Amino acid sequence: MTGSQEVEGSNPFFSTTLKEGFTDKKSYRSYFCNFFFVIIFDFIWSIVVVWLILSMKSLSPFDLTWLLDKKQEIKDKPKHYMIYLRVYSRLEKKYSQLTTRVVASQELFDSATSKKPKGERALEVSLILEKIMDNVKQYNSSSQAKTLEQFKSLIKSKKGSVKVLDGYDNLIKWYVELKRFGSAESCTYSKKKIAQFTDIEKLTYHDITVKWLQRFEAYCTENDISVSTIGFYLRQLRKVLNEAIKNVGINYTKDDYPFGSDKFTIKISSGRYAALDDDQLKRFYDWTPTKENLGLAKDFFFFSYLANGLNPADVLNIKHSDIIDGQKFNVIREKTKNSNKIEKPITIHLNAPLMGILKRRVGKGKYLWDYYNDTDTWDDKKRRRGYYVKRINVLLKEIAVILDLPEKISTTWARHSMATSSIRKGSSMEAVSEAMGHSSTRVTKGYFAGFEDSVQKEHQQRLTEF
């Protein structure tokens, strides 16, 4: 049969023009049965899928989202707010907020909660939030909790290790995740020294008292360990204890904490800081190098000196985009970028001497100083920086022989010389502290205590120059 035809003797309902392939009423009915069967099957399958989704949701009675609470600005930190975990109960139709103790600006919060955080600080915050979420998700099931109060109670009652060794291991792992390998190494040294002093396998947070810290300090002193190195060990231990306080699952609070102005204070070294005096600085500054590599070492030293004593990591990390109106730039010290301290930008004004150095050493890529490549990763920069500083230090010692400067001179002397010279010329301790990016004048006073007697005498003499 070709074309179309009308089936004889058919019911009026079927007495329509049929397409090729339907030779009788039976085949037409078969087609409709199959068609309706597919529709019914799809409908039933959709119901099953919806039921499965709802069943899965019933296993997670709480919606968990991050919230930046912009109702209250953090004191002393403009446009920064606390990040909360917002827990919404589907059953109760209400929500509660749990603090994370993490502070962020809107920009940092948006970056940290995105799929690809940009910047080291955003990555750090992202990892913190991810860790918190992983810990909380284990309680997000109807078999664990059905109400907000039950949910919060479970979180607060979760158990955590009170062993100091576990605290060290967790902190070291945390540093490695953030690619802060220097900090991880420092933490490892601290853990080893504690293990030499006592049985660290049995040591708990509650064992670390003021008297314990005093005994540890005495032990280190008896073994000819310097004050600065003792502080190096204790600051990592203090970090371990601070992390324990933050963990709601560990039975350890601020009341148990042994550090503080009215408890145990980590001493700051009062040893003599290495710095050039005015005569040595003038001789070095006026000297004209005869070799290009010696000129590079001189320029690097005095760029650091003139830029408020910036250390090598900060100098090498300055970008062209940091320059403001061609006249100044702000720097957040690499040392404090990933800490919980308030980031204090250091403002460096590009005066004539600094501009003169930059004309010789300016980078062609995104970095101001001509050394890093635009494609360098964090690991690349750390490795290359170590090599570069060693090279500069070798050249500085060669210059020391030529100019009769102290043979131990290094890049660190630029920072100390800046502080010494500033105080010698009458700058206040607060001004020097601000310029160097110190967290407090207490750190700066540690520098000042090591300056040569002549500087301190000059400072005292000015007290009567009314």
Q: Quick one: three-class SS letters along 252-291?
A: CCHHHCCECCCCECCCCCCCCCCCCCHHHHHHHHHCCCCC
**Residue 270 pLDDT class (50, 70, 90 cuts):** low
Other CB atoms within 10 A of residue 343 CB: 14
Lowest-pLDDT choice from 193-197, 198-202, 252-256: 252-256
Please determine, for residue 223, whether its predicted confidence score (pLDDT) is greater than 90.
Answer: yes
State residue 280's pLDDT score.
92
Report, in angstroms and rounded to the nearest whole number, the Rg of the chain calculated over CA atoms.
34
Instruction: Report the C-alpha gap between 166 and 161 in whole angstroms.
Output: 7
**Residue 4 pLDDT class (50, 70, 90 cuts):** very low
**Residue 230 pLDDT class (50, 70, 90 cuts):** very high
Instruction: Give the model confidence (pLDDT) of 338-355 as tens digits.
Output: 554 555 677 888 989 999
**Residue 455 pLDDT class (50, 70, 90 cuts):** low
State residue 73's pLDDT score.
87
Cβ-Cβ contacts under 8 Å for 360 (sequence gap 6 or more): 295, 299
Instruction: Report the C-alpha gap between 376 and 391 in whole angstroms.
Output: 19
**Residue 176 pLDDT class (50, 70, 90 cuts):** confident
Residue-averaged pLDDT of the chain: 80
CA 82 to chain centre: 16
High-pLDDT (> 90) share of the chain, %: 34
Q: Give the ranges where 60-147 is alpha helix by DSSP (H).
A: 106-112, 120-137
Cβ-Cβ contacts under 8 Å for 243 (sequence gap 6 or more): 167, 170, 171
Lowest-pLDDT choice from 18-32, 85-99, 179-193, 293-307: 18-32
CA 67 to chain centre: 20
Half-sphere exposure (Cβ direction) of 121: Cα atoms closer than 13 Å: 20
Looking at mean pLDDT, say which of 3-7, 144-148, 375-379 comes out highest: 375-379
If one compares 346 and 154, the residue with the highest pLDDT of the two is 346
Instruction: Give the model confidence (pLDDT) of 50-109 as tens digits.
Output: 666 655 544 678 888 999 998 888 877 888 999 999 998 888 888 888 888 788 899 999
State residue 220's pLDDT score.
94
Instruction: Report the C-alpha gap between 122 and 356 in whole angstroms.
Output: 35
SS3 at position 412: helix
Identify the CA nearest to 279 among candidates 405, 416, 418: 405
State residue 249's pLDDT score.
66
Instruction: Give the model confidence (pLDDT) of 320-332 as tens digits.
Output: 998 888 888 887 7
Half-sphere exposure (Cβ direction) of 370: Cα atoms closer than 13 Å: 11
Identify the CA nearest to 65 among candidates 96, 107, 105: 96
State residue 39's pLDDT score.
76
State residue 377's pLDDT score.
86
Instruction: Report the C-alpha gap between 334 and 315 in whole angstroms.
Output: 10
User: What single-letter amino acid sits at 159?
Assistant: K
Instruction: Report the C-alpha gap between 346 and 333 in whole angstroms.
Output: 8
Please determine, for residue 438, whether its predicted confidence score (pLDDT) is greater than 70.
Answer: no
State residue 458's pLDDT score.
59
Please determine, for residue 451, whether its predicted confidence score (pLDDT) is greater than 60.
Answer: no
